[in-house]
Amino acid sequence: MRLRWSVVVVTAVAAVGVRAQMPTTTSVPAAGGPIVITALGHASVQIEQGAKVVIVDPVSAQTDLSRAKRADLILVTDIHPDHFDPAAVARYLKHNFRAELVSSEQVVEQVAEALNDEVILRNRVHAVVGSSPESSASLTVGGIGLHIRRISHGSGRHAEIQNLAQVVTLGGWKILHIGDSDAGEAEFKRLDFKKEKLDVAFIPFWYLTDDKGVTLVKRYVRPRIVVAMHIPPGELEQRTAEIRARFPDAVIFTQPFETKTFQ
């Protein structure tokens, strides 16, 4: 797949964005009440139904996290600073006694240092995926279903990064977030996400604009709703046109506070 930066590019989730961008909210009707997905910036999203709140990849440099809700569940896809802020995760865990973290061994190791609290670490921090490329886990946290698997972050210096593909189940809806994946066909074939019968999938834009990536999404993911991620602000117009040519109904957030309702 294309796209590997040596510097962090601050983006919205499929949106124009700046630091401390204001959230953009999308309501999704589902059994048990609407699911609300809020784009917090870059790959960070807030997923909620009723009193349950999941936040994926909270990073203070990407958005004003004081505007986000109190998370019951925190998920982190990898240890790079555009996806992972150990201090922010530690604050969530310290200030909300309900909050739990589920992530990789690499993430948990750094959170342990930032947290410095053995009680929280023992009871509310869960390392469920490790060094094996085929690591996986299925669990339920506070009534929220999770199916988590390793998915490649790339080769070379990225090969050892424990990047996670996470399926969150809320209200009967299945929502996939694949982080900063750079997996190819062999891995997508093995993971075969289409078996999950996904409702929503957050997909990095390079899979949506490259012919090989498009084939992988259509063959092995097949969500009802595609949400594009990681679009650099300066490339929004170009990438939107490329994505629309391949996925006409894809969700592409273009401005803060933009709201879309799925029926």
Domain limits, the chain: 24-261
* Cβ-contact 13, 45 below 8 angstroms: yes
DSSP letter assigned to residue 11: -
Residue 253 above 90 pLDDT?
Answer: no
Token pair, residue 200, equals: 């929503």
Highest-pLDDT range among 62-66, 146-150, 227-231: 146-150
pLDDT tens digits, residue range 106-120? 999 999 999 999 999
Q: 62 falls in which pLDDT band (50, 70, 90)?
A: confident
Residue 14 above 70 pLDDT?
Answer: no
DSSP letter assigned to residue 63: B
The percentage of residues in the chain with a pLDDT greater than 70, rounded to a whole number, is: 86
Residue 148 above 70 pLDDT?
Answer: yes
Q: Which CATH number among 3.30.70.100, 3.60.15.10, 3.40.50.720, 3.40.50.300 corresponds to the domain 24-261?
A: 3.60.15.10
Burial zone of 151 (CB within 10 Å; 0-12 exposed, 13-18 middle, 19+ buried):
buried
Which contacts (CB < 8 Å, 24+ apart) does range 2-9 have?
2/206, 2/210, 3/204, 3/206, 3/230, 4/154, 4/158, 4/182, 8/61, 8/80, 8/81, 8/82, 9/82, 9/232
Mean pLDDT of all residues in 182-200: 96
pTM of the shown model: 0.87
